[in-house]
Amino acid sequence: MRYDTLIIGGGLGGLECGYLLSRAGQRVLVLEQGRQPGGCLQSLRRQGMTFDTGFHYVGGLAEGQSLHAAFRCLGLLDLPWQRLDADGFDRVTIGDRTFPFAEGYDAFADRLAEDFPAERTALRRYADLLQRTAEGQWNALSPCPSETEMTTRMMETPAWQYLQENFRDPLLIQVLGGTSLKMELRKESLPLFAFLHGNSCFVESSWRLRGDGSLIADALVRGIRTQGGDVVCRAEVRELLERNGRLVRAVCSNGEAYEGRLFVSDIHPDQTCRMVKDSQRLRPLFRRRIHGLAQSFGMFTVSLRLAPQSLRYFNHNHYVYRRPDVWDFHLNNRPVGGVLASCRVPEDGSGFARQVDLLTPMTWESCRNWVTRRDADYEEMKRQMADECVALAGQVVPGLHEAKTVCTSTPLTWQRYTLSPEGSAYGLRKDCRAPMLTFLSPRTPIPNLFLTGQNLGLHGLHGVTMTAFRTCAEILGRETVWDMLHGNGAATH
């Protein structure tokens, strides 16, 4: 059977593209190598409980905000979303001081100004920049896009440089980066563009699911199938065959082959290039360029199970740092210097938490010794890091030391389940010194092969969703996708 579009990889970007293309009337097939679709939205079941692997919260879902129209278009607004505390959806603790991030741009600036009164004017300018960033996030999809000079400057400006030039208080600079464990903080390379996009939508409003992230993946899969497409798991694509300069077939490890008119790859661009073994179009120079791009670092995660009624549910995320070195602590991996504590919404209505996830950055170099083996030393390293995460988070979340560690993961785990090189949590590293090289286009030298996912532009639920719409705009046309985004695009099949 020949499909209109074959999608390689059933992560968030692949599923969103599958949903949008099938909604537009295409016959779509998503091929996923794992046992379940979703990528970092996958969940795992341990000791009678379901734990998330990568998803913890998202921003901008309220009506009129930056992600509302996209999630309405994708059929995701009806999921059981819970809005986080408006007076402190995120809280940053550095040493013995805690700073809440309030919802709403004015409230965000005013609340931080209570702790940093001399920076009130600079905070309001920063909040205004966050707001303009959120309001302009979908401009590139407009049928008549207007790429502004400001966007170009933000892509070429280091976020660290901007903060240094606009704020005088060194502690405030650390606080403003304190919620950015959800991105790779690097002073020399992180573009201001990525930093602002990674923070602006959460200030609009922040939400977590009453349930696990697989609810998002499941909803997208149902939508694809309802619209005439399909998702096949345990279908690991090994080769993409080219004929006369265009892809014609995907061959899986089990020998199954699928033909398509168009192909969308949601896996890492370097892995995609490797699948196209013989090509008139993918020149060695392009392959070397993609292969040579740096990966962002990975994550170490700890999933904790709490005793009944031992911890009140907290409706916010807490970022905890030993010292005011938010931008540098990941360079010294031990002991753990910063951690995110995220609480699962109680599903029994008791008001008491049963699960808490802890996350901290972890570099590939930290686990390189165990790439080919998992021995007792590896298990001991994970145990010690888990204990350090619990001890640090326990400074602000009482009773964590009594919780039971159910499972842990390292970049090695991420590499195994997502095929991300070096277990990268945020995809390819975006570099303000070379934005044209590190922000990738959905188009490739092969005219019917397109890319999507976190490696192209921005990562996270918000960034990947924006990229999925952008990829589909290259296939369907900007006007079609713009109409779909704004509620005017009906299915054509």
Q: What is the DSSP letter of 11?
A: B
The residue-averaged pLDDT of 129-152 equals 81
Distance in angstroms (rounded) separating the CA atoms of residues 7 and 13: 10
310 with 408, same domain?
A: yes
Distance in angstroms (rounded) separating the CA atoms of residues 53 and 424: 14
Q: Which residue has the higher pLDDT, 183 or 44?
A: 183
φ/ψ (deg, to 5) at 478: -65, -40
199 with 221, same domain?
A: no
103 with 170, same domain?
A: yes
Whether 83 is in a domain gets the answer no
Number of structural domains found in the chain: 3
Q: Could you tell me if 307 and 372 are in contact, meaning their C-beta atoms sit under 8 angstroms apart?
A: no
Q: Which of 70, 79, 142, 137 is nearest to 487 (CA)?
A: 70
412 with 306, same domain?
A: yes
117 with 190, same domain?
A: yes
Query: Is residue 492 over pLDDT 60?
Result: no
Distance in angstroms (rounded) separating the CA atoms of residues 361 and 354: 24
Query: Is residue 255 over pLDDT 80?
Result: yes
Q: Could you tell me if 129 and 199 are in contact, meaning their C-beta atoms sit under 8 angstroms apart?
A: no
Query: Is residue 147 over pLDDT 80?
Result: no
Whether 94 is in a domain gets the answer no
311 with 414, same domain?
A: yes
Which of these ranges, 7-11, 68-72, 361-365, has the smallest mean pLDDT? 361-365
Q: Could you tell me if 376 and 16 are in contact, meaning their C-beta atoms sit under 8 angstroms apart?
A: no
Residues of 221-255 as b/e, b for ≥16 C-beta within 10 angstroms? bebbeebebebeeebebebbbbeeeebbbbebeee
Supply 179's token pair. 């919620």
- What is the CATH classification number for the domain harbouring 242? 3.50.50.60
Distance in angstroms (rounded) separating the CA atoms of residues 208 and 214: 13
Query: Is residue 485 over pLDDT 70?
Result: yes
Residue labelled with tokens 């999608």: 7
pTM of the predicted structure, to 2 decimals:
0.94
Q: How confident is the model at residue 493 (pLDDT cuts 50, 70, 90)?
A: very low
Distance in angstroms (rounded) separating the CA atoms of residues 101 and 115: 12
Domain ranges, residue 367: 302-420
**Residue 270: which residues within 8 A CB-CB, separation 6 or more?**
290, 291, 293, 421
| Euclidean distance between the first and the last CA atom of the chain, given in angstroms as a whole number | 18
110 with 199, same domain?
A: yes
65 with 173, same domain?
A: no
Distance in angstroms (rounded) separating the CA atoms of residues 208 and 145: 32
CA atoms within 13 A on the CB side of 32: 24
The residue-averaged pLDDT of 176-191 equals 92
Supply 123's token pair. 């905070």
Do you find a cis peptide bond into 308, omega within 30 degrees of 0?
no
**pLDDT tens digit sequence for 224-240:** 999 999 999 999 999 99
375 with 460, same domain?
A: no
Task: Please give the pLDDT value at position 142.
Answer: 78
Task: Please give the pLDDT value at position 27.
Answer: 97
Last residue of a domain, one of 380, 396, 420: 420
309 with 346, same domain?
A: yes
Supply 21's token pair. 């293309």
The residue-averaged pLDDT of 468-478 equals 96
**pLDDT tens digit sequence for 295-331:** 999 999 999 999 998 999 999 999 999 999 999 988 7
Whether 106 is in a domain gets the answer yes
Last residue of a domain, one of 171, 204, 237: 204
Please give the C-alpha separations between residue 147 and each of 14, 144, 154, 452, in angstroms, as whole numbers. 26, 10, 12, 20
**pLDDT tens digit sequence for 330-359:** 877 679 999 999 999 998 878 999 999 999
Q: What is the DSSP letter of 374?
A: -
The residue-averaged pLDDT of 234-254 equals 96
310 with 392, same domain?
A: yes
Average pLDDT, the chain: 92
413 SS3 class: helix
Whether 274 is in a domain gets the answer yes
**Residue 284: which residues within 8 A CB-CB, separation 6 or more?**
none
Residue labelled with tokens 């201001």: 192
Q: How confident is the model at residue 489 (pLDDT cuts 50, 70, 90)?
A: low
Whether 397 is in a domain gets the answer yes
Q: How confident is the model at residue 266 (pLDDT cuts 50, 70, 90)?
A: very high
Whether 317 is in a domain gets the answer yes
468 with 380, same domain?
A: no
Whether 84 is in a domain gets the answer no
Whether 90 is in a domain gets the answer no
Last residue of a domain, one of 155, 186, 204: 204
